[in-house]
Chain A
Amino acid sequence: MRTPNRRQALGAGLAVAGVAGLSACGGGEVGAADAGDPVKGGTLRVGVTGGNSADTVDAHIPVNNGDVCRSVNLYNALFGWDDDSQVVPLLAESIEANSDSTVWTCTLKEGIKFSDGKPITPEDVVFTFERINDPDDPKTAAANFSMLDKVVAKGDRAVEFRLNEANGLFKDAVAEYTAGIVPVGYDPKDPVCSGPFKLKSFTAAQSTVLVPNEYYFDHDKLYLDEVEVLNFNDDDALINALLSTQVDAIAGIPLALVEVIGADERMTILNSKTGMWLPFTMRVDKKPFDDVKVRQAFRLVVDRPQMIEQVLSGYGTLGNDMFGPLSENYPKFPQRKQDIDKAKKLLAEAGYPDGLEVELVTAPIQSGAVESAQVFAQQAADAGITVKIRKVDATTFFGDEYLQWDFAQDFWYTRDFMPQVIACSLAESPFNETHWDDPQFNKVFAKARAIPDAGERRDLEHELQKMLYDDGGYIVWGFANQVDAFQKYVGGLVPNSTGRPLSGWRFDRVWIGEV
């Protein structure tokens, strides 16, 4: 079974105000030409791999692909992310920080309602964040809101978020899809929704049926009568269902099959560039990787273009040991290339003149993970590095030793640089796989975090990026495209950089054209 568990981070609750987001992308409306002009009516049948009996419609604990899909369509957060990974308002009208970014005041849109017709109030927002931050049962987004001290309702439409530290990135955090707004007394067994759709039926691991939420603020702009999300165990069954027209669109196809499926004239391929990365993770506090020369040598043995060609069938962009490629402040460091001689020299200086042997732990955590481990082992051999690949299943990988492996892999979806650091490169980060904890780095980061404006943060961000580029524990060889396929009669699916399939799961702008 392929990668049932996926994390997406800042690629958040993207159900942006209807078609407005669509025109904003400017990336060409793939499929729209074939599907004709938007028409009302029809059912969209979507195939998704993954899903199991623990599937959920709970707004705050999505784990796998299907969970995220349901979450994005059933719930709206205060803000969300558009196709170009820019933060845009959803349920909120605006959010403002005070002078030192410790208090954020958010104003809700006027007249917005839940799917049961009740108005969405500041009290509901307070309830939502208390539910996420419940100390006895912290939800997925809790790690992003550790700085949140108190949420206070102010009047009819305003909510005040009081933080216990200066944080300029709070707006990004509330834009995550894991922070969808739910009503006071929310019961996931019979969910009341704040998103463009509401739940008609749901059977874990099998199917989910969504229907338009007539109280949604952009309800008039929805085209579909119904959305059916069907779970599949594996890619073969998924692709067979598409080819036999049993489903209209499928989320994610194996990159090696893109050409084959694209050659079928009934199909459209949706190819989205994303900031999705599949790094190798070296623990900077464990031998041999505690020596920065070893880390540098490992980064120099990778032939990145070959990696993208062999692992991603060419559907990806070049990595430079730096995450957050869509970030406004992504640095222009010299592109790191394969340099075996220099790698050997560095290894000799680090005390390994005859090369060394390391164990690389890999698992099918994401398509391409195991393949990239194999390609890496081959490339590293040229520099005298013997890579012993230890392949485990995904559950073992995320088991007791998760985040403790000396040399392993991981995958991340599109995030900006700063939130990504919070997630993985601070001592208190929930997913610090490389155990990166540098005093100077932490100091600069604390300073940068307090600044809400990305432009004003630029120099500090570059300083942080330089440290990671020179000394960090990640080998970032590339960013994988998200490639989906759908029947030509499906309209409204556009390239989306969040890394979430099928236009970021945004079914609120999809229509079924002439078959």
Chain B
Amino acid sequence: MFGKVIGKRLLFSAFILIAVSLLVFGATLLLPGDAARAILGQQATPERIAALNEQLGLNQPAWQRYLTWLGGLFVGDFGTSSATGGPVSELLGDRVWASFVLMGLAAIISVPLGIGLGVYQALHRGGRRDQGMTGISLVLAAMPEFVIGIGLIAIFATSVFQILPAVTLAPPGEPVWNRPQQLILPTLTLILVVTPYIVRMMRATMIEVLDSGFVEMARLKGVPEKRVIMRHAVPHALGPVAQVVAIQLAWLAGGVVVVEFLFRYPGLGQALIDAVTYRDVQVVQAISMLVAAVYVVVNLAADVVGILTNPKLRSAA
């Protein structure tokens, strides 16, 4: 039963991904200009455009290029980048890892941190610390990521203290994690963007659970307070929070674009901006598919967590 639900979701996800690829391909066709013109820019004389179109294989009709690309996808071939002339997978390989490291670090820190702070606030609700933290998380939640990023750069890299690097400058071929201090500011930016939502959701759900009948019952039965919180309250609050965490993690996959841009971080976000500017359709599609896949997987995971933490659903499964 449980497996069947998951299987259905997986099939549905595949359809979503194909729909996404069609939408993305269509959208890039709507952009004026093509790869050859975008690459040549002001140098775009008819002779050079013709020569480049020939080299890039852009003379084929759009639907043919789409089908070739989709067909390649099934055998794990992401196609050829118009800009580099090389395989897309080669272009994106290092960048996928770089982005993954950034997102992973942000997720590993912000999820437990958000849940912990939320629980803490719920337990001390109405107190001065609770109010202070609520204020801070509201302010942070209201700030766009580039404002937070620029603020951090001004404080820690360029103006107030000059202790951290402002941008990422890993030499080509060297993985970004070889220079950990360059990861601090971008990771911190993402954490500051993502955590407030988790804190606020965790606090609200936790308060609801703490006020519910079964927690009261447990307390009345003389279960120690620590156990009441850890074994009874927190797991119940996690189900709904998993959805928020999922949305936040999925946001990371797309929202990392701005942060990468700001910190010159050599990840997918940068590659995407580049690819859109240069009408490198294959690369735009590959990245869009990756981001869409992250959304699908993360939401799937949230559903599983929801089922596992909900006794009613769990037994039904």
A residues apposed to B, CB below 8 Å: 1, 4-7, 45, 52-54, 63-64, 136-138, 140, 142-143, 201-207, 209, 230, 232-234, 236-237, 240-241, 243-247, 365, 392-396, 398-400, 402, 410-411, 430-431
**Given A45-B169, A399-B37, list of 14 further CB < 8 A pairs?**
A1-B273, A138-B47, A138-B48, A142-B47, A206-B266, A230-B169, A232-B167, A237-B261, A240-B158, A247-B169, A396-B32, A400-B37, A402-B37, A431-B45
| Cβ–Cβ contact A63 & B40, under 8 A | yes
- Cα distance, A201 to B271, chains bound together (Å): 20
* A218 CB to nearest chain B CB (Å): 28
- Cα distance, A297 to B157, chains bound together (Å): 51
Q: Tell me which residues from 12 to 64 in chain B have a Cβ below 8 Å from any Cβ of chain A.
A: 31-34, 37-45, 47-48, 51, 55
Q: Which 8 A-B pairs have the closest CB atoms?
A: A5-B41, A203-B172, A399-B33, A240-B166, A243-B158, A53-B83, A54-B83, A244-B166
Cβ of B232 within 8 Å of any chain A Cβ, yes or no, is: no
Q: With A244-B157, A396-B33 known to touch, is A5 a contact of B43 (CB < 8 Å)?
A: yes
| Cβ–Cβ contact B172 & A206, under 8 A | yes
Q: Which residues of chain A come closer than 8 Å to B42, judged between CB atoms? A: 5-7, 365, 398, 410-411, 431
- Cα distance, A258 to B33, chains bound together (Å): 34
Cβ of B137 within 8 Å of any chain A Cβ, yes or no, is: no
Cβ of B262 within 8 Å of any chain A Cβ, yes or no, is: yes
Partner of B81 from the list A1, A53, A142, A143 (CB cut-off 8 Å) is A53
Partner of A143 from the list B34, B45, B166 (CB cut-off 8 Å) is B45
| Cβ–Cβ contact A244 & B158, under 8 A | yes
Q: Which residues of chain B come closer than 8 Å to A204, judged between CB atoms? A: 83-84
| Cβ–Cβ contact A246 & B165, under 8 A | yes
- Cα distance, A52 to B275, chains bound together (Å): 8
Which one of B125-133, B240-248, B276-284, B304-312 contacts A? B276-284
Cβ of B263 within 8 Å of any chain A Cβ, yes or no, is: yes
Q: With A52-B83, A52-B278, A207-B172 known to touch, is A4 a contact of B166 (CB < 8 Å)?
A: no
Q: With A4-B277, A53-B84, A396-B33 known to touch, is A63 a contact of B264 (CB < 8 Å)?
A: no
- Cα distance, A137 to B44, chains bound together (Å): 13
- Cα distance, A142 to B45, chains bound together (Å): 11
Q: With A54-B84, A398-B37, A400-B32 known to touch, is A246 a contact of B166 (CB < 8 Å)?
A: yes
When C-beta atoms are compared, the residue in chain B nearest to A366 turns out to be B42
B residues apposed to A, CB below 8 Å: 31-34, 37-45, 47-48, 51, 55, 81, 83-84, 91, 150, 153, 157-159, 162, 164-167, 169, 171-173, 261-264, 266, 270-271, 273-275, 277-280, 283
Partner of A237 from the list B44, B81, B262, B266 (CB cut-off 8 Å) is B262
Q: Which residues of chain B come closer than 8 Å to A392, judged between CB atoms? A: 32
- Cα distance, A137 to B270, chains bound together (Å): 31
A-B contact count (CB 8 A): 142
* B168 CB to nearest chain A CB (Å): 9
Q: Which residues of chain B come closer than 8 Å to A230, judged between CB atoms? A: 169
| Cβ–Cβ contact B169 & A241, under 8 A | yes
* B187 CB to nearest chain A CB (Å): 17
Q: Which residues of chain B come closer than 8 Å to A234, judged between CB atoms? A: 261
Q: Which residues of chain A come closer than 8 Å to B172, judged between CB atoms? A: 201-203, 206-207
* B156 CB to nearest chain A CB (Å): 9
- Cα distance, A398 to B36, chains bound together (Å): 11
| A-B contacts, 26 listed (Cβ < 8 Å) | A5-B40, A52-B39, A53-B91, A53-B283, A136-B51, A140-B43, A201-B173, A203-B173, A230-B169, A232-B167, A233-B270, A236-B262, A237-B166, A237-B167, A237-B263, A240-B153, A241-B166, A243-B157, A243-B159, A244-B162, A244-B166, A395-B38, A395-B41, A396-B32, A398-B38, A398-B44
Q: Which residues of chain A come closer than 8 Å to B38, judged between CB atoms? A: 395, 398
* A207 CB to nearest chain B CB (Å): 6
- Cα distance, A201 to B42, chains bound together (Å): 27
Q: Which residues of chain A come closer than 8 Å to B277, judged between CB atoms? A: 1, 4, 52, 393, 395
- Cα distance, A237 to B162, chains bound together (Å): 15
When C-beta atoms are compared, the residue in chain B nearest to A7 turns out to be B42
Partner of A402 from the list B44, B159, B169, B263 (CB cut-off 8 Å) is B44
Q: With A233-B270, A399-B37, A430-B45 known to touch, is A138 a contact of B279 (CB < 8 Å)?
A: no
When C-beta atoms are compared, the residue in chain B nearest to A136 turns out to be B51
* B209 CB to nearest chain A CB (Å): 44
- Cα distance, A203 to B93, chains bound together (Å): 14
Partner of A395 from the list B159, B164, B261, B279 (CB cut-off 8 Å) is B279
| Cβ–Cβ contact B41 & A246, under 8 A | no
Q: Which residues of chain A come closer than 8 Å to B40, judged between CB atoms? A: 5, 63, 398
* A363 CB to nearest chain B CB (Å): 11
- Cα distance, A241 to B265, chains bound together (Å): 12
Most buried by B among A137, A201, A395, A396: A395
Q: Which residues of chain A come closer than 8 Å to B262, judged between CB atoms? A: 236-237
Partner of B157 from the list A54, A240, A365, A395 (CB cut-off 8 Å) is A240
Q: Which residues of chain A come closer than 8 Å to B37, judged between CB atoms? A: 395, 398-400, 402
Q: Which residues of chain B come closer than 8 Å to A395, judged between CB atoms? A: 31-33, 37-38, 41, 277-279
* B16 CB to nearest chain A CB (Å): 28
* B82 CB to nearest chain A CB (Å): 8
- Cα distance, A411 to B42, chains bound together (Å): 9
| Cβ–Cβ contact B274 & A53, under 8 A | yes
* A306 CB to nearest chain B CB (Å): 27
Q: Which residues of chain A come closer than 8 Å to B279, judged between CB atoms? A: 395
Q: Which residues of chain B come closer than 8 Å to A398, judged between CB atoms? A: 33, 37-38, 40-42, 44
| Cβ–Cβ contact A232 & B48, under 8 A | no
- Cα distance, A472 to B235, chains bound together (Å): 77
Most buried by B among A1, A140, A234, A237: A237
Q: Which residues of chain A come closer than 8 Å to B165, judged between CB atoms? A: 244, 246
* B118 CB to nearest chain A CB (Å): 34
Q: Which residues of chain B come closer than 8 Å to A232, judged between CB atoms? A: 167, 264
Q: Which residues of chain B come closer than 8 Å to A240, judged between CB atoms? A: 153, 157-158, 166-167
Q: Which residues of chain A come closer than 8 Å to B32, judged between CB atoms? A: 392, 395-396, 399-400
